[in-house]
Amino acid sequence: MTRRSPVRDVLALFSVRTVAGQVFCFVLGLVLLLITGFAIALVAQGRSDSLQEARMRTFSVAETFAHSPGVAAALDSKDPTAILQPRAEQVRKEARVEYVVVASPQGIRYTHPDPALIGKHLIGPYKEALAGRGFTRTFNGSVGPSINSVVPVPRPDGSVAGVVSVGLTDKTVNSVADRSVPLSAGAAVVALVITAGGAALVTGRLRRQTHGLGAAQMTRMYEHHDAVLHAVREGVLIVVGPDHRLTLANDEARRLLALPPDAEGRSVTDLGLAPDTAELLASGQTVTDKVLRSGNRLLVVNLRPTDTRGGPPGTVATLRDTTELRKVTGRAELVHERLLLLYEAGARIGTTLDVTRTAQELADVATPGFADATTVDLADPALPGEEPATLTGAPLDMRRTAIAAVDPDQPLYPIGRPVGFVPTRIRAMRVNSAETGLGPEVIAQLGWRRWDPDRAAKILDYGFHSVLSVPLHARGVILGLANFWRAGNPEPFDDDDQSFAEELVARAAVSVDNARRYTREHEMAVTLQRSLLPRGLPEQNALDVAHRYLPARAEVGGDWFDVIPLSGARVALVVGDVVGHGLHAAATMGRLRTSIHNFSALDFAPDELLGHLDELVTRTDQDEAAGGDNTEIAGATCLYAIYDAVSGNCSVARAGHPGPVLVLPDGTVEFPEVPAGLPLGIGGMPFEAAEFHVPEGSRLVLYTDGLIDLRDRDLDAGMELLCETLARRDRTPEETCDDVLEAMLPDQPADDVALLVARTHTLDPGQVAQWSVATDPAAVAGVRKNVAEWLTDRGLDEEAFTTELILSELVTNAVRYGTGPIEVRLLYDRNLICEVSDTSNTSPHLRYAATMDEGGRGLFLVAQFAERWGTRYTETGKVIWSEQTVGESEEEGEEGEEDDDHGPGP
């Protein structure tokens, strides 16, 4: 190629014989036309805007000057020019106007930029301004064509003292619009430069695309490429246009696709190709190495669009025949797929510790990647967690647990159907219909029992032709059987399939066995926990109590509740939660519940009871740590409340537990302030109790944190929802429990939940009697008299003798060994309760009196005649109480009225 001079290259850019030159000429004319129109419009718009601005400026300056202070007075002075001329010139310069002229009503100028014109008559209309109205006009003045605004100068009385005329010449106005002319010229030059640059770019791109080749060279190159295209052993197709017409197909493409001779020019959808092939060629997608079947060939197709670099819209397709290569690599691909399936099985099987769910996961993994249908039958003992029989060949009662199939209408047994099995070996067994069929003889071969021959016929009619059965065995026992069925896949199961199935089922069997063992342990923990919880509620009249306990969805926790009757028509309500889950938590809960019962029998106050319980938990943790056990810390939270049915007061203490909720009879919900305290087992800090009054008919609601604290709901939202639920209509405790659980826990909880709802009652004043007793042995007689009268009024005459005997002993002991004041109280609730209180902290003890002892038999008699008796301490002293069952006969001793400690009573 000869070198061309740079000058010729530049001239060639603008030659009309080239495409670039033609484009340049067209764009140049278009640009000049646009610039000319733009310049005219810009000048016209500038003049219009400048004229409007000039009218507004002159009128504003004239108006301002005419109403300036002192202008009217200056016009009426002897020498207006001396006063107004300096001011007018100053305003003219600052406002950038041509002139500011002040004239008399007769039109005589007092001011003018040209002093020679002062005193001359004003040119132009001004009489309209004498009428009191300003105006703006365009006229020829003394300085040429001008825009003039005339405004009257008013006096205070409303008359006109003169006029002010302000003007701008046309020359000044036009100078503003003329400034846009250089801008238009600059834009025109820039447009021409851009047009020339665009023409150069177009020409350069055409040269790069043709690589500097001429027409003859391009023709020879096309002939060469056409020969090569038809000689290669790879099919090439070019499809262009919105109707997907075939533009080019080489010889290899015709052979692979069996194209007709007149294929060029026709749509690819009309060439008789397979539907998926025609659809792919007409899709316009970008495809890499997609495998299509064409007759008995496997073709690898690649598609690329033709319009990515400015070409026409269309697609270039290349085809390769990989039939032989497919046969060679198919084996490796199958192995790769099986490895991926095993990897997927490891990730998907055993996600939960549920036996049924694990069996279903095995069926889902194997279908449809390995089989068209998969069924899993598990031994009946394995479902609840028990261990099936070992490999002895004894029949196993099995049940269909999971099924997965490509077709949901397949004829296999449904889930839940009993399916027997006789295990003879742990190796897989396979049967193909082409060899032996799937009839009764195959059933016997596979070891299946309870098989319906009609069902076997339906299976054959459906198309199942191959079955592979693999026992699920782990730790020496058969857990079940996995069955893989093929119908859509024409290939029967072979040795490789059997090896893969055994590996797959072996992995699943371990997960099933883990789930079975977990189920067994979970059931044991649930059984233990339920055995440790209250079987029923004790009888008492102070509270109407309802309770609910929901175990956790996964592991058993340590939540518990209790209702414990106390002396003096009092009832203790307990709710607690042990830290952790499992058997250890359940066992710890049982120990704490037993300890609370023992401490309650001693009538401790709530804060004292929690203190003793905290010491017990701390000592337990220390003993277990000293023993080297890897046992969890036995931490717990607890709330202990005592309700007194006589006073209607409730005393509450809590150790790290949520506080109680009080629902008043009118539906108002309150949260009594109870000091939180540290959880049990931490130690170091005392507990505090809070006491508050509970109106009769109110509901006390105690609960564990599993009710309000959920993963998808924070604590504040849970408390708000609980408050809204309790504030609804008046309900019984049973209805309250149902409503709270329905609103707070729509699903199975993730943590244990204990809920206790108690409606309060108070004793009628007629059921309570109280007397003060003097510290004199003679006062015992008065007590017995009062008690007898009170019992007679209530129809309890049969209880009078026993009650007088008990009170005589208790009051005499208080008078002899206690300190005053002494009080006696009788409570008639479910039983008859006698209480004697004093301010001494010394407690009497029951003992056996020797034959020759003069005393020591008083409390022994009380213990014999009373159902229960005991001592509880108060802030001011102690109370000795006894409880009698009303209506039961009591043995009356002859020495009943004698006090063995101090002789007969008065």
Residues near 400 by beta carbon (within 8 Å), at least 6 away in sequence: 375, 376, 377, 413, 414, 415, 416, 417, 418, 419
Ranges 485-489, 625-629, 768-772: which has the least confidence: 625-629
Contact 603, 538 (CB under 8 A): no
C-alpha 388/C-alpha 466 separation (Å) is: 29
For residue 46 the two structure tokens come to 């500038």
C-alpha 115/C-alpha 89 separation (Å) is: 11
Look at residue 604 and tell me whether its pLDDT is greater than 80.
yes
Q: Write the burial class of residue 789 (CB in 10 Å: 0-12 exposed, 13-18 middle, 19+ buried).
A: exposed
- Per-residue confidence band for 573, with pLDDT thresholds at 50, 70 and 90: very high
* Per-residue pLDDT, 691: 94
- Per-residue confidence band for 202, with pLDDT thresholds at 50, 70 and 90: low
Contact 601, 570 (CB under 8 A): no
Segment 718-763, tens digit of pLDDT: 888 889 888 877 789 999 999 888 888 867 777 788 899 999 999 8
C-alpha 260/C-alpha 788 separation (Å) is: 125
Residues near 91 by beta carbon (within 8 Å), at least 6 away in sequence: 61, 65, 100
* Per-residue pLDDT, 606: 93
Look at residue 559 and tell me whether its pLDDT is greater than 80.
yes
Contact 658, 641 (CB under 8 A): no
* Per-residue pLDDT, 155: 86
Report the 10 Å Cβ neighbour count for 779.
Answer: 19
868 alpha carbon, distance to own chain's centre: 56
* Per-residue pLDDT, 574: 94
Higher pLDDT, 12 or 347: 347
Contact 818, 842 (CB under 8 A): yes
Look at residue 447 and tell me whether its pLDDT is greater than 70.
no
Report the 10 Å Cβ neighbour count for 777.
Answer: 16
Q: Is 475 left (phi over 0), alpha (psi -120 to 50) or beta?
A: left
**Amino acid at the residue 652:** V
* Per-residue pLDDT, 787: 84
Partners of residue 109 on adjacent β-strands:
103
C-alpha 618/C-alpha 625 separation (Å) is: 11
- Among the listed residues 743, 748, 713, the one whose alpha carbon sits nearest the alpha carbon of residue 731: 743
Contact 780, 805 (CB under 8 A): no
- Per-residue confidence band for 899, with pLDDT thresholds at 50, 70 and 90: very low
Mean pLDDT confidence for 20-48: 70
For residue 826 the two structure tokens come to 């009788």
* Per-residue pLDDT, 902: 36
C-alpha 264/C-alpha 261 separation (Å) is: 8
- Among the listed residues 12, 337, 331, the one whose alpha carbon sits nearest the alpha carbon of residue 199: 12
C-alpha 782/C-alpha 864 separation (Å) is: 24
C-alpha 590/C-alpha 571 separation (Å) is: 20
- Per-residue confidence band for 807, with pLDDT thresholds at 50, 70 and 90: confident
DSSP letter (8 states) at residue 785: H
Mean pLDDT confidence for 499-507: 88
Look at residue 650 and tell me whether its pLDDT is greater than 90.
yes
801 alpha carbon, distance to own chain's centre: 70
C-alpha 879/C-alpha 814 separation (Å) is: 10
Kindly report the average pLDDT of the chain as a whole number.
Answer: 78
Give the SS3 label for residue 605: coil
Look at residue 87 and tell me whether its pLDDT is greater than 80.
yes
Instruction: Estimate the crossing angle of helix 800-817 against helix 779-793, to 10 degrees.
Output: 150
Higher pLDDT, 104 or 330: 104
R_g of the chain, CA atoms, integer Å: 55
Higher pLDDT, 119 or 333: 119
Look at residue 24 and tell me whether its pLDDT is greater than 70.
no
C-alpha 343/C-alpha 402 separation (Å) is: 21
Contact 515, 354 (CB under 8 A): yes
630 alpha carbon, distance to own chain's centre: 37
Give the SS3 label for residue 683: coil
- Per-residue confidence band for 639, with pLDDT thresholds at 50, 70 and 90: very high
Q: Write the burial class of residue 793 (CB in 10 Å: 0-12 exposed, 13-18 middle, 19+ buried).
A: exposed
**Amino acid at the residue 55:** R
* Per-residue pLDDT, 444: 47
Look at residue 830 and tell me whether its pLDDT is greater than 50.
yes
Segment 215-239, tens digit of pLDDT: 566 677 667 777 767 777 778 878 7
Contact 252, 235 (CB under 8 A): yes
* Per-residue pLDDT, 904: 30
What percent of the chain is predicted at pLDDT more than 90?
9
Higher pLDDT, 395 or 884: 884
Look at residue 494 and tell me whether its pLDDT is greater than 50.
yes
Look at residue 40 and tell me whether its pLDDT is greater than 90.
no
Partners of residue 543 on adjacent β-strands:
760
Residues near 892 by beta carbon (within 8 Å), at least 6 away in sequence: 801, 802
Mean pLDDT confidence for 374-385: 83
Higher pLDDT, 904 or 776: 776
Segment 845-864, tens digit of pLDDT: 666 555 554 455 667 777 77
* Per-residue pLDDT, 663: 92
Look at residue 638 and tell me whether its pLDDT is greater than 70.
yes
What is the chain's length? 906
Residues near 386 by beta carbon (within 8 Å), at least 6 away in sequence: 516, 520
**Amino acid at the residue 359:** A
Higher pLDDT, 526 or 451: 526
Partners of residue 267 on adjacent β-strands:
245
Look at residue 89 and tell me whether its pLDDT is greater than 90.
no
* Per-residue pLDDT, 10: 55
- Per-residue confidence band for 2, with pLDDT thresholds at 50, 70 and 90: very low
**Amino acid at the residue 622:** Q
* Per-residue pLDDT, 394: 60
- Per-residue confidence band for 867, with pLDDT thresholds at 50, 70 and 90: confident
Look at residue 417 and tell me whether its pLDDT is greater than 50.
yes
Mean pLDDT confidence for 754-778: 87
- Per-residue confidence band for 896, with pLDDT thresholds at 50, 70 and 90: very low
For residue 549 the two structure tokens come to 């306990």
Contact 620, 634 (CB under 8 A): yes
Helices (H), 748-906: 779-793, 800-817, 858-865
**Strand blocks (E) in 441-552:** 448-449, 466-474, 477-486, 543-550
Mean pLDDT confidence for 356-377: 89
Ranges 636-640, 807-811, 861-865: which has the least confidence: 861-865
Q: Is 144 left (phi over 0), alpha (psi -120 to 50) or beta?
A: left
C-alpha 60/C-alpha 778 separation (Å) is: 120
C-alpha distance across the termini of the chain, in Å: 150
H or E, element range at 584: helix 583-601
Segment 122-166, tens digit of pLDDT: 777 777 778 778 888 877 665 556 788 888 888 888 788 888 888
* Per-residue pLDDT, 889: 43
